[in-house]
A and B are shown apart, each in its own frame.
Chain A
Amino acid sequence: MRLSRWLADRWVMIVALLVLGYLALPILVVAGLSFNRPSSRLSYDFNEFTLDNWRQPCATSDMCDAVVRSVQIGFLATVIATVLGTLMAFALVRHRFRGRSGINVLIFLPMATPELVMGTSLLALFVSAGVPQGFWTILIAHVMFCVSFVVVTVKARLAGMDRRLEEAAMDLYASEWQTFRRITLPLVLPGIVAAALLAFSLSFDDFIITNFNAGTTVTFPMYVWGAAQRGIPPQVNVIGTAMFAIALLLVGLSSLRGRRARRANLLAGPAGHLRRPS
């Protein structure tokens, strides 16, 4: 009787923890394998503990080249997409203009289109225009699929902002530019930062679209894909674990710095709009 009561009160939490365990399981495996010395190239089983992989993460140099390239592309794509998307969000929230529903469709469609279709169609464009594929075509593609997510994230933050704060600033002798600089920008910044983080994670992890538009350029996910056929070097798990740790650290730091509200926003902001970082 008492047990069933206890269960009735807590089963949701118990299920939730089990699901979290399910989500964490592969991460634990990845972390474990990063300390593994595999018995053969194609083996995924735990063999022997070693720190070598962490000591020499760049033992396979083309992997590190790929990571660096992914970071470069991710950084550039984030900057461009964040700027373009933020401008669009401002136009959509703050202005009335003709053609707004058309713009909304243009922003919505990329999010509702399978990445495969975007990847193939972009490939068709580059091929027919005779554009050689590589670093720049990847960058173009990444900006394209990140923009919509930036717009939606920043828009949510902007729409939730109290217009009266800006009016109050203008009432207190702040010109349009000063109002933007002192009030609007600081208040929207968490949304922009969240959008940028989201864009970076989407770009860094994208495989499908990149695969169609990369030519011979290799990003980290493409390296992993290629290596999966030949046998994955254990250093890949080092990168995976390190990325996870950095993400945790970033979130931890931001939650230490920000107050509760801001922290929740960082998570819930992109939360609504995340799509799979493939």
Chain B
Amino acid sequence: MTLLAPTGSGQPPPAPPAARSGRRRLLPYLLLLPGAAWLLIFFGVPLVQLAAASLYDPSGSLSTGYAMTWAVSNYPDVLQAYWPQFLRSFGYAGLALVLALLLGYPLAYAIAQKAGRWNNLLLVCVVAPMFTSFLVRTLAWKTILSDNGALVGLLRDVHLLAPDGRLLATPFAVVLGLTYNFLPFLVLPLYASLERLDHRLLEAATDLYASPVQAFRRVTLPLSMPGLVAGTLLFFIPASGDYINAELLGTPNEYMIGNVIDSAFLVRLDYPQGAALSFLLMAAILAVVFGYLRRAGTEEVV
């Protein structure tokens, strides 16, 4: 669970005192009961149901009802139909992740190590945009990138963009939107672990003949690993399941798997297909997450 709590990953708490009586032994269960029940009923059960729905007879409909036919073929079917969107989801999210790392690491590092007494102010600047509604911000990007906006005009003038070139409704816009929207989730955990980095360690490394690049590679990077892992996951998981950016900043050519699932449930009302797609998405994300965690090799995570 430390995945999402880099701030709490110090030494484990001292062992609680031995149970004093039966009532005391029961207490943790009483404390857990309401929350765990809520999660089980409204997260666990629906997930199981969704799994079931993904195996319904695809020829049914919401009005006529669905028959459970263990239609495992739903999975290859949807994969066949929507593999480009799947690939695109992970491609865009991966690209956005790379961009976010390039932007976010220096930002987190600067706030944690270089900003001195300004660090809280800068941190506020990272957090505050999240309080403006996420949709409103994405729509603002639509304004910024619009064809007759200042940015496009400028790029056309300096010939970085063809006279009829556009930014909006391109893969570029979607990736930019994803990067923008989830950047704080990468920066904050990264900041939390970089902030605890003792800068004397870097001095010690330089004292021991490490160049700045080596000092970064051998000291800073490994020590910021827990934050980096947590931030990467917090960025990647929602980014790959997102469909708002593709919808508002792209065209159907940029649609991600989220758009397909959304329309399967809310437009086409094809529940078996939507459920199968949801499950595939979740399975793919979990596979990526656990593969990544294994490679990152930080036992401090999860």
Do A and B interact directly, with beta carbons closer than 8 Å? yes
* Interface residues in chain A, defined as those with a beta carbon under 8 Å from any beta carbon in chain B: 12-13, 15-16, 19-20, 22-27, 29-30, 33, 44-45, 83-85, 87-88, 90-97, 103-104, 106-118, 120-125, 128, 140-141, 143-144, 147-149, 151-153, 155-160, 163, 201, 204-205, 207-208, 211-212, 220-221, 224-225, 228, 232, 236-237, 239-241, 243-244, 246-248, 251-252, 255, 260, 263-264, 267-278
Q: Which of A108, A147, A157 contacts B1 (CB 8 A)?
A: A108
Top 7 A-B pairs, shortest CB-CB distance = A114-B241, A156-B8, A16-B110, A271-B188, A247-B131, A95-B28, A121-B46
Residues of B within 8 A of A274 (CB): 127, 130, 184-185, 188, 234
Are A16 and B282 within 8 A (Cβ)? no
Q: Which of B6, B42, B281 has the most CB of A within 10 A?
A: B42
Query: Which of B74-82, B134-142, B157-165 lies on the face that meets chain A?
Result: B134-142
Q: Which of A122, A124, A153 contacts B275 (CB 8 A)?
A: A124
Q: Can you pick out 17 interface pairs between chain A and chain B where the beta carbons lie within 8 Å of each other?
A: A23-B126, A29-B144, A103-B32, A114-B281, A116-B241, A120-B50, A120-B261, A121-B50, A121-B275, A144-B39, A160-B8, A220-B133, A224-B135, A241-B132, A268-B195, A274-B127, A275-B234
* Interface residues in chain B, defined as those with a beta carbon under 8 Å from any beta carbon in chain A: 1, 3-8, 10, 12-16, 19, 25, 27-29, 31-32, 34-36, 38-40, 42-47, 49-50, 53, 103-104, 106-107, 109-111, 114-115, 120, 122-144, 146, 148-149, 180-185, 188-189, 191-192, 195, 227, 230, 233-234, 237-238, 240-244, 248, 258, 261-262, 265-266, 271, 274-275, 278-279, 281-282, 285-286, 289, 302
Q: Which of A22, A30, A87 contacts B34 (CB 8 A)?
A: A87
Given contacts A117-B241, A225-B135, contact A247 B128 (CB under 8 A): yes
Are B139 and A224 within 8 A (Cβ)? yes
Given contacts A110-B39, A117-B281, contact A268 B135 (CB under 8 A): no
Are B129 and A114 within 8 A (Cβ)? no
Are A91 and B188 within 8 A (Cβ)? no
Residues of B within 8 A of A246 (CB): 131
Residues of A within 8 A of B45 (CB): 125
Are A155 and B8 within 8 A (Cβ)? yes
Residues of B within 8 A of A33 (CB): 140, 143
Complex CA gap A84/B242 in Å reads: 28
Residues of A within 8 A of B107 (CB): 15-16, 19-20
Chain B nearest CB from A136 CB (Å) reads: 12
Q: Which of B50, B53, B302 contacts A108 (CB 8 A)?
A: B302
Chain A nearest CB from B188 CB (Å) reads: 3
Residues of A within 8 A of B122 (CB): 16, 20
Are A268 and B137 within 8 A (Cβ)? no
Given contacts A24-B129, A152-B5, 18 further A-B contacts (CB under 8 A): A12-B114, A15-B103, A25-B140, A26-B138, A91-B31, A106-B43, A108-B1, A116-B243, A144-B42, A155-B5, A157-B8, A159-B8, A160-B8, A207-B135, A241-B132, A268-B7, A272-B227, A277-B130
